[in-house]
Homo-oligomer: A and B are copies of this chain.
Amino acid sequence: MGITVGIVGCGSITRFRHAPEYLTNPHVDEIVFFDRNRHRAESLVKEFGGRIAESFKELIQDPAIDVISDCSSNEVHHIHTTQALMNGKHVLCEKPLAVSTEHAKTILEAQKKSGKKLMVDHNQRFTKVHQKARKIIQSGEYGDVLTFKTTFGHGGPESWSVTKSNATWFFKKERSHSGVAGDLGIHKIDLVHYLINDEIEEVKSFAGALDKVDENNQPIEVCDNVVCVFKTKKGRLGNGSFSWTYYGEEDNSTTIYLQKGIVKIYHDLEDQIIIEQPGGEKAKYELEPIQTNDHQSNTGVIDAFIDWVVHDIDPPVKGEDAYSSLKVVERILEN
C-alpha cells in the first residue's frame, strides 16, 4: 500500500512543483490539500485529483496521511511544520525553514522529540551539476579546499513575482525579512556547505538597498545587495555576493579553489563544470543541455524525500543543514 501526502498551502509552489512531482512518484497514492482559502485547495483537487482537508488540524490528525509538505507562508513554518512533526508526520518544509533561527530551533526540537524525518527544499543541492561538483571536490583528487567564491544575482524579483510590480512582497520588511540575503544568499550558503563539506562559522558583510524602490519610489526596506566574506570551521576563506541588481545575465556561479586545481561551476553555458589545473590542463563537464525548454522538469526533491521515507536512503539535505544556512544569513544581517 502506498503513501498518502498532505499539503498545507496551495499556492504556486504547490501547483507547479509539489503536487505534480508527488503524482509521478510511484510510491504516492493520494494527496490531501489544505488552504485557509478553500477555493485554492478546490482548484488543485480539480487539477490533480485527491481530496480536501477542512482544517489544518484535520490534515495533521488524519491517520491515513504519512507525510506533510509545508508550503505555507515562511512566517508560519515553525507552527505548521512543528505540529505536523509532533503529530507523527514526516515533513518536507519549503525553503527557508523559518524566518529566524529561533523559530528554526523550535522546529528542530520537535523533529528530535518526534523522531520523524524533516527535509527542507534547498533545491540547488539537487542539480546534476552540483552533485557532480561535490563528488569531484570530495574525491580528494585535487587536494584540500582552500578558498571559494559564490554568487547569486539577477535583475530582481519584481519582474517575475505574481504582482509583477515594485509592490512585490519581496521588497517588504515584514514578509521578506532578509531581502536578497534570504531570497538568494541562503541558497548559495547552503550549497557551499554541501560542496565543501564544511560549515561557515564567521561572517563579515556589507548590505544595502542601493537601487530598488517600492511602489512609492522610495528605497526598499530590505537589502537588494549583500557582499560578504566567510571563514569556515576548517579555516577556509570565501566571498559571497547576492544581488537583485545584476542588470545583465543571471549569475549563479560558484568557484572552489583547491590545492591542485580550480573547480568552476556554472561559469560557462556549455561546460557547466570546468576544472583548471596548473600547466593549462582542463577537465570540462557538459551535464545539462544548453537550451532548457522545460523548466518544469522534475527537480528530484520530492523523489529524494519519498526515498528517505520509504527506503531510508539519506537525502542530500536535512533539517540541520537548513538550520546552519539560516544561521549564516542571520549573521550577515547583524553585520
Q: A residues within 8 Å of B by Cβ?
A: 128, 146-147, 149, 151, 153, 155, 202, 204-208, 210-211, 225-231, 235-241, 243, 245-249, 257-262, 271, 275-278, 280-287, 289, 335
One of B230, B239, B248, B262 near A261 (C-beta < 8 A) = B248
Cα A239 to Cα B202 with chains together (Å): 16
Contact across chains for A237 and B208 when beta carbons are under 8 A apart: yes
Cα A206 to Cα B335 with chains together (Å): 14
10 closest A-B pairs by CB: A248-B276, A248-B262, A204-B204, A282-B286, A284-B284, A227-B229, A206-B237, A227-B237, A239-B239, A146-B210
Contact across chains for B247 and A260 when beta carbons are under 8 A apart: yes
Contact across chains for A241 and B239 when beta carbons are under 8 A apart: yes
Q: How far is the CB of A284 from chain B (nearest CB, A)?
A: 4
Known: A229-B239, A283-B285. 5 other contacts (CB 8 A): A146-B245, A147-B245, A206-B229, A228-B229, A248-B261
A151, A210, A245 — which one has the most chain B CB atoms within 10 A of its CB? A210
Contact across chains for B231 and A206 when beta carbons are under 8 A apart: yes
Cα A237 to Cα B243 with chains together (Å): 11
Chain B, Cβ-Cβ closest to A149 = B241
Contact across chains for B271 and A248 when beta carbons are under 8 A apart: no
Given contacts A235-B208, A282-B286, A286-B282, contact A246 B230 (CB under 8 A): no
Cα A257 to Cα B243 with chains together (Å): 10
Given contacts A229-B227, A236-B210, contact A286 B284 (CB under 8 A): yes
Given contacts A205-B204, A282-B286, A284-B283, contact A147 B227 (CB under 8 A): yes
A128, A151, A229 — which one has the most chain B CB atoms within 10 A of its CB? A229
Q: Which residues of B contact A241 (CB under 8 A)?
A: 147, 149, 239
25 contacts between A and B (CB under 8 A): A128-B281, A146-B210, A202-B206, A204-B204, A204-B229, A208-B237, A210-B235, A210-B236, A227-B237, A227-B238, A229-B239, A239-B240, A243-B257, A245-B259, A247-B257, A247-B258, A247-B260, A247-B262, A247-B276, A247-B278, A248-B278, A249-B262, A249-B280, A283-B286, A284-B285
Q: How far is the CB of A95 from chain B (nearest CB, A)?
A: 24
Cα A207 to Cα B278 with chains together (Å): 23
A155, A271, A278 — which one has the most chain B CB atoms within 10 A of its CB? A278
Chain B, Cβ-Cβ closest to A284 = B284
Q: How far is the CB of A84 from chain B (nearest CB, A)?
A: 36
